[in-house]
Structure 1
Amino acid sequence: MQKPVGIFDSGVGGTSIWKEIRKKMPYEDTIYLADSKNAPYGAKPSEEILQLSIKNVELLLEKNCKIIVVACNTATTNAIEYLRKTYEVPFIGIEPAIKPAALHTQTKKVGVLATKGTLSSSLFHSTSKMYAEGITVMEQEGKGLVELIEQGKQASDEVRKLLIQYLAPMLEVGIDCLVLGCTHYPYLIPMLTEILPKNVHIIDSGEAVARQTHAVLEKLQLLTKSETLGTSKFFSNSNIEVLKNLVGNQTEVAKLDF
């Protein structure tokens, strides 16, 4: 039996990453953990984020995963260094796509919408410093957005009001790239497209993460040899209905106490 690709997030947001992995590697089996009971991670202290990440990793290792994708920006920035040192399995992390934004911007002004936990992390600051020299990076905490997406309200008026409020200062200074620094936020792209001027390019990390996962599996000779479509299993420790709506009813979604 082939070993699955493990994916975890503070909730349902990392399913945006799962979709890209599935597209890139349709024959791989995947297991997804949604720690929705503890969402969002973004406002929690660093030590708590680390402990939650350890709990998720150990559960995925029990399920025999061959690689683990930390499909959460906050967990990546606060825990991935420790996870890589502690466990033998390879880890793929997620960080805001500052580099492609810096390469793409014409106005030299870039907006980053992320959680507090990501924006205040040392990894985020070192990435910004490395790639965004000579570029104005406008940081904005997306307070309340993850909670609304976790409730399945990504198309609501509440979300629209928050986005208009958060984007206004960025648009005032003339950003032409908006980096989505949370895996929940790609579910806001339809609304962001309506709100933002046509010249603002929306950048998220999903496709790049899928490419990197494939590259690491290939390098370590861990890619499946199967030519049968892989299975996907989803587990949540909270309401599974939102998760079901995002991944489609053809997949296995179960409630698990973890």
Structure 2
Amino acid sequence: MSVEWVPPGVDPERPSVARVHDALLGGMENFAADRSVARKLKAAVPEVVDLVWCNRAFIGRVVDFLVREAGIRQIIDLGAGLPTVENTHEVAQFADPRAKVVYVDIDPMVEPHARALLHGNPYADAITADARDVAGVLGHPAVLRLLDLSQPTAVIAVGLLHLFSDRENPHALVRAYADALPRGSYLAVSSFLASDNPKAKALEVMLQATMGTGYFRDRAAIERFFDGLELVEPGVVHLPEWHPDERLPGPLASWEELLLGGVARKP
């Protein structure tokens, strides 16, 4: 890739979560450092690509539920990553063409690529911001221009919270978003599950070694993200078990047990 292509603020020698994710999905918006990490993750857990697609499929089902069944028309997608296929705004606007979506990511590469995809779409936007800065995200001019935060809004934190250590208190972060939004708002979360599953241990070790992040949590800690909220059935489950498009054929594969997720409503 040419040096001229690198957006301001991007260090191509330092892998980023968004670009590693893109490399795992076979995208082109990544650098050698990102592809190196992707190769190591695939070597540690060959099904990691399936895992990434499983996570994206979960987002799609969640967004479809939020718009079609929960009546939500405003969505904030935290840690959105680089655009791929069946993006949040595409799923939401397939259900309702006027559904509004704001993508949030800390990687400076995400915003220009997302805005290129969103060109001419008046109901979607992308911003570069740190999801941990709740006031900065919710007070961003693009968010305030597009969304009415006095109305029910969904916050999606899928594939994000495992990036934050307990020292960074991700539970307080989730609570801050929930507290800032009105009643009737929704929260969607997924997180890596700590267990004796050898694939969980292998992936956690490799994420820590290559990215310096990747914190797996037990079920109780993941369920605490929804404290004070009303869980949507079937509660906190492995991602393929949440509103599957079709009946599950049988027991989950070991890699499908690496993530838990759920959706909840603010009463």
TM-score w.r.t. length of structure 2: 0.43
Greater RCO (CA < 8 Å, at least 6 residues apart):
1
